Each structure stands twice: as C-alpha cells, then as structure tokens.
Amino acid sequence: MTATALHKRRSGVDMTRIRQFYIDGAWVSPMTAGQTGFTDPATETQIGMLAVGTAADVDRAAVAARRAFAAFSASTTDERKALLGRILTLMEARAEDLAQAITLEMGAAITFSRTTQVPFGIAHVRAAMDVLADYKFRVQKGTTAILREPIGVCGLITPWNWPLYQITAKVAPAIAAGCTVVLKPSEMAPLSALLFAQIMHDAGTPPGVFNLVNGTGAEVGSAIASHPDIDMVSITGSVRAGVLVAQAAAVTVKRVVQELGGKSPNILLPDADFDRVVPLGVASAFRNVGQSCSAPTRMIVPAERLTEVEALARAHAETIIVGDPQDPTTTLGPIANRAQFDRVQKMIQVGIEDGARLICGGPGLPEGIIHGLYARPTIFSDVTTGMRIAQEEIFGPVLCILPYATEAEAIAIANDTVFGLGGHVQSADLDRARRVARQIRAGQVHINHPAWDAYAAFGGYKQSGNGREYGVFGMEECLETKSILGYDPT
C-alpha cells in the first residue's frame, strides 16, 4: 500500500480535496497553483501537498458569502436549528473518520481524539442548537425594541492544536446567528477541516453560507482580516498572529474576536486533597501534549508542601505513555509539527540554563523512541516567576512548580503574567476557593477540576485576547445590536 493510500485509509478524507477549496456550495480549484506540504508528526513523513490560496480565492469566497447573507440572515431560528441538527447528526455518524483525521494530521492519541477532540467539537454544535431554542432576538423595553441581528460575513481563522473543536466553536455560533462564513483552518492540520466542509455540504447548507479557503496566515489570514465584505473576524492563535489580524482588520473597522496565548496558573491551597489534585493538575497541563492555550502549566504550591508535590507529580508523570498515537494505550502522541517541537526542546533547555530544578523529563526524545516529534513529559520545580519558562507559553508537555508562602503571594504569582486566559484553584473550602478565583485575572477559572462546560464563556484578559466564545457568548459575538425607538410594544 502506498503512503498516500495509507493516509487516505486512516483519515477518511478524499485526498483529492486537499487540492481544492469549498466555495459557494461546491469543491473548486484554486485561482493559482500554490501548494504546501503537511506531515504526519508521528513519522515525519509527508501526508500530501495542500493547495494554498491567495487574496483572490478569499475574494471569491467573500463574494459568495455576501451574496448568500441576504437570504440566510432572514432564515428562521427553526430553519437554522434544523441545519445545525443535520450537521450534528453527520458529525456523530462520521466521528471515527474525524478522530482518525485529527490523529493523523496533528498527532493526538487516537483515544484522546475519540473521547475528547471529536466529542467536544460536536458539543459546540449541540450548544448552538440549545442557545437557539430560547434566545430572544428581540426584547421590548417600554416603547423601544432592542434587536439582535446577524453581523454579516464572519471570517474565521482556526489553529492546529484543536482543529475540529475550534472550527465548530466558531462556525456553529455564526450559523446560529444567521451569519455566513469564510473559514481558514490551519494549513498544518487540514484534514478534519476538509471532512467538516463535506459534512456542511451533505447537511444541505445553502451555497455560500459556508466557505473554506486553505492557506497561510500571511496570505489568506491577512486577506480575510482586511476584506471589505467580511464584517467580523475571529482568530484563535498566537499573540503575534492576533496582533497582525487586528492591524489588518482596523482598516475596515470590523469587529475582531481574539483567543490567543495563555500561561494559566493552578493554585493549590494548603487544605486541598493533594493526592487527588496534583495528579489531575499534571494531567491537565499535559492534556493534548500540552498544546492547549489554557493548559494550567504553572502549579503554584505551598512551599512547605513542595517535596510532597514533587513526588506526587513525578509519580503521575511516570505513568504517562508516550508513543504511537494509533495505539489505544498511548497517553501522549507527538508534538504536532516540527516548528513547535523545536520550540519545546529549546524552552526545556532554557529552563535548565535558568536554574530551574528538573524533576523528570528533559530535552530529547523519550526512551525507546528514535523518530517522530515526541517530547518527554517534563516537570521543573523551584521555578521563580521571573524565569522564561514561567512567563512564556511553551505549548508542550512542560510543567512549572512554583512555591509560595502566603495566599496573597500565590495570587500575586498567578497574576504575574501578560496572559489571562484560564486559571485553576484547588481547596476543600469552597468559599475560600471562590474568593481566590475571583482575584485571578483570567477569563475562565476552574475550581477543583470540574467537568468541561460547552456553555461557559471562554476568552481572555490582557494579551490572551478579547471577546468570548462558547454558548450564548459565542453567538452574541456574531450579532449586532439595534435599538428601534417608538416600536409598537404589542
């Protein structure tokens, strides 16, 4: 079997689609013949050559989306809910294909793709349907009506680390709001996006309502941000990418929603159940191989419990199985791409050079692995807040343990960052945990490792971005507010 045939079998993707875009209800060829290779990070072998678009392709998609907006924005909530329901049904039916595509394109362990990457992506579609069921697009205030209307064409730019999850977190609320979409998924993880585009087609999405153009951020992302027919842009990515998108969008004064980097704290208060929360903290930091912007990668612990925390953290790290992502027993697959692998290796070395104490892991490949982009689960202790590994987003399986003397110092360490995306607090005293959580400058804080919530607002303070995603909050980013004074109250 050829490598191309193997990838087709494992991903469920019609590999001819990697040379096409989805525009105005059809698979079409790019305006020019640009291509870029993308690889399987487990083997570092090339999967295929992906067509990359230009501003001309974005223009074609934006024109189609603008044309479709007039009719789709006038659709009823029942019609949009029915469309989302068909999308949901198809995603559930094709869940295994989606999971295989994610594992192939960015290395997530297949069990994680099946239990988390895909189900969480599906959950965003279900949440959008639930929001539509009772959302009031018109509210009467005396003789004034407050209307919420679709903003227009939404340009959506999504990353490689949660490729399907981030697509549905943006597309589903936009569709629920009555907006049309131009999507640019990551060129480094395009397979699940292509499967999703086919699902949108098979669900009967009206032509022009959903459009996909692959390409680079510098070319396609910039064209989306600056296009005059695109009314808002939502990006999940690095701070650098978010700044560039905001600058490009400023010319047309469009709304910009940014979900950017993070360096999330995890405060363990002295009364927490350390036997429970330390292993959970390590697992949360290393989930998705640490490639999550909200990963709690700074564990802030009482100084007098430091030795205990180190032993518990090391013991859990030693249970982690790094290996072939297709093996259902694997806990962590490879880092998603070479550039990110090199970044992780560099930052581990920086931590050593800056004087942090290595508890486990370190640079290089894990024992027994001779190829692929695999990183060793790494934990540093005695980290101080001024160290680079405590300040910079590493985006890999690297955890920093920082000791504190008082609760006030723990909160100060938690907030000593340019980021403010997520945070965690662990305590047996719920009132105390709530008090500390309210003082963390972040958009979402978790107390005692609760279940994930597809309806909870997600977004950041400071350089972690602006705007919010998920549930009603994500849909409202796609709506404009109109006041009509003298509206008939009946």
AA identity, residue 213: V
Question: Does residue 139 sit in helix, strand or coil?
Answer: strand
Task: Check residue 319 and give its pLDDT.
Answer: 97
pTM assigned to the model: 0.96
Q: What's the pLDDT tens digit per position in 426-435? A: 999 999 999 9
Q: What's the pLDDT tens digit per position in 171-210? A: 999 999 999 999 999 999 999 999 999 999 999 999 999 9
The DSSP call for residue 141 is E
Beta bridge partner(s), residue 402: 300
In angstroms, rounded to a whole number, what is the distance separating the alpha carbons of residues 42 and 7? 13
Q: Output phi, psi for 463, to 5 deg.
A: -80, 5
Residue 5 has pLDDT above 60, yes or no: no
Is the C-alpha dihedral spanning 44, 45, 49, 50 positive or negative? negative
The DSSP call for residue 67 is H
Q: What is the mean pLDDT of residues 377-391?
A: 98
Q: What is the mean pLDDT of residues 272-278?
A: 98
Q: What is the mean pLDDT of residues 329-349?
A: 98
Q: What's the pLDDT tens digit per position in 89-141? A: 999 999 999 999 999 999 999 999 999 999 999 999 999 999 999 999 999 99
Q: Output phi, psi for 359, to 5 deg.
A: -90, -40
Q: Find the length of the chain.
A: 490
Tell me the H-state helices in 156-217.
163-177, 191-202
User: Of residues 105, 187, 219, 259, which has the active-site annotation?
Assistant: 259
pLDDT confidence bin for 8, thresholds 50/70/90: very low
Q: What is the mean pLDDT of residues 9-32?
A: 88
In angstroms, rounded to a whole number, what is the distance separating the alpha carbons of residues 61 and 25? 10
Q: What is the mean pLDDT of residues 275-291?
A: 98
Please identify which residue in the block is written with the tokens 């959950």: 123
- Would you call 259 a catalytic residue per the annotation? yes
Sheet containing strand 398-404, edge to edge, reads 357-360, 378-381, 398-404, 298-302, 265-268, 422-426, 444-447
Residue 334 has pLDDT above 50, yes or no: yes
3-state secondary structure 82-138: HHHHHHHHHHHHCHHHHHHHHHHHHCCCHHHHHHHHHHHHHHHHHHHHHHHHHCCCE
Task: Check residue 313 and give its pLDDT.
Answer: 98
Cβ count within 10 A of residue 307: 10
pLDDT confidence bin for 6, thresholds 50/70/90: very low
> Tokens in use for 438?
């309210």
Task: Check residue 16 and give its pLDDT.
Answer: 87
CB-based burial label for 418 (10 Å; 0-12, 13-18, 19+): middle
Residue 3 has pLDDT above 60, yes or no: no
Task: Check residue 2 and give its pLDDT.
Answer: 37
Task: Check residue 10 and give its pLDDT.
Answer: 57
CB-based burial label for 240 (10 Å; 0-12, 13-18, 19+): exposed
Q: What's the pLDDT tens digit per position in 223-249? A: 999 999 999 999 999 999 999 999 999
User: Of residues 293, 360, 400, 478, which has the active-site annotation?
Assistant: 293
**Neighbouring residues of 17: CB distance < 8 A, sequence distance ≥ 6:** 27, 194, 197, 198
pLDDT > 70 fraction of the chain, expressed in percent and rounded? 98
The DSSP call for residue 221 is I
Task: Check residue 11 and give its pLDDT.
Answer: 65
**Neighbouring residues of 79: CB distance < 8 A, sequence distance ≥ 6:** none
CB-based burial label for 284 (10 Å; 0-12, 13-18, 19+): buried
Q: Which structural domains are found in the chain, ordered by start?
A: 3-260+465-483 (3.40.605.10), 265-453 (3.40.309.10)
Q: Output phi, psi for 280, to 5 deg.
A: -65, -35
